[in-house]
Amino acid sequence: MSLTMAPQGLLPSRMALRGMLLGLLMVSCFTFCSSHQNSKEFALTNPEKSTTKETERKTKAKEELDTKVLEVFHPTHEWQALQPGQAVPAGSHVRLNLQTGAREVKLQYGDKIQNNLKESKKGKRLDINTNAYTSQDLKSALAKLKKGAEMESSEEDKARQAEVKQLFRPIEELKKDFAELNVVIETDVQIMVRLINKFNSSSSSLEEKIAALFDLEYYVHQMDNAQDLLSFGGLQVVINALNSTEPLVKEYAAFVLGAAFSSNPKVQVEAIEGGALQKLLVILATKQPLATKKKVLFALCSLLRHFPYAQQQFLKLGGLQVLRSLVQEKGTEVLAVRVVTLLYDLITEKMFAEEEAELTRETSPEKLQQYRQVHLLPGLREQGWCAITASLLALPEHDAREKVLQTLGTLLATCQDHYRQDAQLSRTLASLQAEYQALAALELQDGEEEGYFQELLGSINSLLQGLR
Ligand SMILES: *[C@@H]1O[C@H](CO)[C@@H](O)[C@H](O)[C@H]1NC(C)=O
Ligand SMILES: *[C@@H]1O[C@H](CO)[C@@H](O)[C@H](O)[C@H]1NC(C)=O
């Protein structure tokens, strides 16, 4: 459950959110998932110590977070920023930091009322999980709320608060007090129903619809919430929104779906049945703004990862052809790198599943059967991905090259004959080898063992070895 300020009290946070949304819409050309949340990461680094290389590495890490669908997040007792695509275990405490735009997570813990009070004073989101509360907690939360609402802390107030703490009052009375303070208790499901209704209503403006999707994305990061979304038909509404003629609606619908699918098999299965895969592919195959395609590609990654049945369907529906056209479009290098990363993830995921099955002899044979039917590598070879991937090595960014090198490595067995005859690839690899030898030497001079450039050089060397 969340405790949210009702209309009047809600205004500051709603307005902040709206302001942020507008900001997001304006800079949407470079936002993928939640790039806005990286500002904090950079603020934490000491600018004097940050070398170009470190910055590069951070960019790399950031990129990774952007492209990969990550595992379930493990919260601690400290607030930690939630990265795009991460799923949160049930019962975690999640908040939206309106100053940085980051979603933050921690374990439910006793001192949360105090924290919530602090946050609410700073004008941040007030989010109290009432499941874990006793009436005493509620009462002291109320006392603090009142205190916060009336004036800043004073000695007099502290005394009054202590007095209030001695009292016990039934929950109905507390609710009345909350009502007086314009506070309503709304469960996450109620909030999601409200947002879906807002989005689904023909009387809502485009801006309201986008705002509803934007808010919804915040809730579906929690696995339980994402499953609840499908239980009342909300997921299908969002999937159907991919058919919208409005690129922004498509974009933010994909944003919600990417979060909802992530590491959530139940939702992934429903999404496949609800036709999400076809719709995502149609968007990627047609002319759309880059920002829309980025989010849609993200949703596609979320849907395919760890779900071999979806991967089979993807291949059947001609997904590889769609991705090929996407990569070959002009001005979509950023998408090309993400596509290559997705392919790398899918190839290695299948390899790991097979290895694991061999080692343990325990993994569900059904899942292994599913993976066996994903004929990804032959498909990649037939459709020219050997050459496409090799050509992407010409990209100038280190992190892009790193992704391409990784993928070339996993394609080596499949594409070996092709690569051996590819003179351009040999030239590119030789020139990259020289470039990274120099950079790796500088790294070593700095006393850095196992540096980033040494790693890249290692990949190049082993590729060259494999091609001999
Ligand atoms: C969305 O709206 C359509 C008609 O406009 C309606 O049939 C459908 O039930 C609504 N869905 C939800 C989940 O509210
Ligand atoms: C969405 O569009 C697809 C084709 O792009 C079409 O087949 C499907 O019927 C549409 N679905 C809805 C709910 O409009």
- Asked if 382 and 246 sit in the same domain, the reply is yes
Q: In angstroms, rounded to a whole number, what is the distance separating the alpha carbons of residues 26 and 53? A: 30
- Asked if 393 and 442 sit in the same domain, the reply is no
Of all ligands present, the nearest one to the C-alpha of 284 is: 2
What DSSP string describes 346-391? Answer: HHHHHHHHHHHHHHHS-S-HHHHHHHHT--HHHHHHHTTHHHHHHH
Neighbours of 396 (CB within 10 A): 7
With a 6 A CB cut-off, is 244 part of the ligand 2 pocket? no
Residue 20 within a domain: no
Tokens of 215: 């808010």
Q: Please give the residue range of the domain that contains residue 216.
A: 188-421
Residue 176 within a domain: no
pTM: 0.65
Residue 143 within a domain: no
Residue 103 within a domain: yes
Closest residue by CA, ligand 2 atom 13: 240
pLDDT of the residue at 41: 30
- Asked if 462 and 403 sit in the same domain, the reply is no
Closest residue by CA, ligand 1 atom 1: 200
- Asked if 307 and 203 sit in the same domain, the reply is yes
With a 6 A CB cut-off, is 192 part of the ligand 1 pocket? no
Measured from the CA of 232, which atom of ligand 1 is nearest?
13
Task: Using DSSP bridges, classify how beta strands 103-106 and 93-96 pair: parallel, antiparallel or unpaired.
Answer: antiparallel
Q: Among 238, 243, 283, which residue has the most ligand 2 atoms within 8 Å of its CB, making it the best to mutate?
A: 243
Q: Among 200, 201, 230, 243, which residue has the most ligand 1 atoms within 8 Å of its CB, making it the best to mutate?
A: 200
Tokens of 185: 């208790």
With a 6 A CB cut-off, is 282 part of the ligand 2 pocket? yes
- Asked if 463 and 345 sit in the same domain, the reply is no
Measured from the CA of 233, which atom of ligand 1 is nearest?
13
Residue 379 within a domain: yes
> Tokens 């920002």 — which residue?
291
Measured from the CA of 282, which atom of ligand 2 is nearest?
5
With a 6 A CB cut-off, is 240 part of the ligand 2 pocket? yes
Read off φ and ψ for residue 400, nearest 5 degrees.
Answer: -65, -45
With a 6 A CB cut-off, is 233 part of the ligand 1 pocket? yes
Q: In angstroms, rounded to a whole number, what is the distance separating the alpha carbons of residues 458 and 464? A: 10
pLDDT of the residue at 164: 57
Quick check: 86 and 71 in contact, CB under 8 A? yes
Residue 100 within a domain: yes
- Asked if 396 and 435 sit in the same domain, the reply is no
- Asked if 411 and 435 sit in the same domain, the reply is no
201 CA → ligand 1 middle, Å: 8
Measured from the CA of 279, which atom of ligand 2 is nearest?
5
235 CA → ligand 1 middle, Å: 11
Residue 259: which of 215, 200, 193, 292 has the closest Cα? Answer: 215
pLDDT of the residue at 75: 72
- Asked if 240 and 286 sit in the same domain, the reply is yes
Structural domain tally of the chain?
Answer: 3
Quick check: 326 and 319 in contact, CB under 8 A? no
With a 6 A CB cut-off, is 278 part of the ligand 2 pocket? no
Q: Among 237, 243, 256, 270, which residue has the most ligand 1 atoms within 8 Å of its CB, making it the best to mutate?
A: 237
- Asked if 411 and 428 sit in the same domain, the reply is no
Displacement of CA 379 from its chain's centroid (Å): 28
Of all ligands present, the nearest one to the C-alpha of 195 is: 1
Q: In angstroms, rounded to a whole number, what is the distance separating the alpha carbons of residues 187 and 171? A: 17
Residue 393 within a domain: yes
Residue 16 within a domain: no
Q: For the chain, count helices (H), then strands (E).
A: 24, 5
- Asked if 278 and 348 sit in the same domain, the reply is yes
Of all ligands present, the nearest one to the C-alpha of 242 is: 2
With a 6 A CB cut-off, is 196 part of the ligand 1 pocket? yes
- Asked if 278 and 357 sit in the same domain, the reply is yes
- Asked if 426 and 416 sit in the same domain, the reply is no
Neighbours of 40 (CB within 10 A): 15
Closest residue by CA, ligand 1 atom 6: 200
Which mean pLDDT values do the consecutive 10-residue runs of the chain (468 residues) have?
A: 39 42 36 30 33 44 42 69 67 61 62 39 36 47 48 58 57 63 76 96 95 95 93 95 96 97 93 96 95 96 95 96 92 90 95 83 75 92 94 93 95 93 94 95 91 94 92
